[in-house]
Chains A and B, each alone.
Chain A
Amino acid sequence: GENVEQHPSTLSVQEGDSAVIKCTYSDSASNYFPWYKQELGKRPQLIIDIRSNVGEKKDQRIAVTLNKTAKHFSLHITETQPEDSAVYFCAASPNSGYALNFGKGTSLLVTP
């Protein structure tokens, strides 16, 4: 089955700095790669996703890159703000309608 590795497990940055979270996956059949953000005490929410026919996708301060050859994808957050503090999960799946295989999560702390 699919195995998703996520690094780092914790990340602390100063407000305004960039944050990068990296994930690797094992199943070459994976084609859908969402990122979820879970704030303390709240539900996981999708913040951005990318599909295998796209190498990079950007939405304001967040971007995701995908390298299918190397089987890795990354989340980039620029100009971080304290409200970006949360646990971020990457996931991989053959398609959006199927089971998501998650990484272990990255706890991001943005200090003012």
Chain B
Amino acid sequence: EAGVTQFPSHSVIEKGQTVTLRCDPISGHDNLYWYRRVMGKEIKFLLHFVKESKQDESGMPNNRFLAERTGGTYSTLKVQPAELEDSGVYFCASSQDNTQTEEQYFGPGTRLTVT
């Protein structure tokens, strides 16, 4: 089966601009997660969708970040306006359901550089 895909793979934008990242989860996976890794630090949780609903958005850093998952399929993460500290690798992951056995499958990530 196709894995989690993310677009773009790289994005370089200037401070103050807007960027939208896209994630396509594995088909049939209700759970979709966004994570971010800032250089040299841990992978940090941003938010979790169950279908189209936000289950947990406790990791969203501030209101410059907006995540959507209309229709419960793909998700977008918009950063507006971007700041220097937003640079990092943004990962998306998906899992089928919230059972004891479900692995979170990660996408390849989008490397965002804000200059």
Contacts and interface: CB of A to CB of B under 8 A. Distances in A.
**A, B in one complex:** yes
Given A99-B48, A102-B42, A102-B44, A46 B104 contact: yes
A97 B31 contact: yes
Interface of A: 1, 4, 6, 32, 34, 36, 42-46, 49, 51, 89, 91, 95-105
B108 interface: yes
Contacts of B56: 98-99
Given A43-B3, A43-B109, A44-B91, A96 B104 contact: yes
B62 interface: no
A4 B100 contact: no
Nearest to A36: B106
Contacts of A36: 106
B103 interface: yes
A96 B99 contact: yes
A103 B42 contact: yes
Contacts of A6: 42
B88 interface: no
A99 B33 contact: yes
B45 interface: yes
B61 interface: no
B101 interface: yes
Contacts of A32: 100
A95 B100 CA distance: 7
Contacts of B33: 99-100
Given A44-B91, A45-B106, A46-B104, A105 B42 contact: yes
B107 A104 contact: no
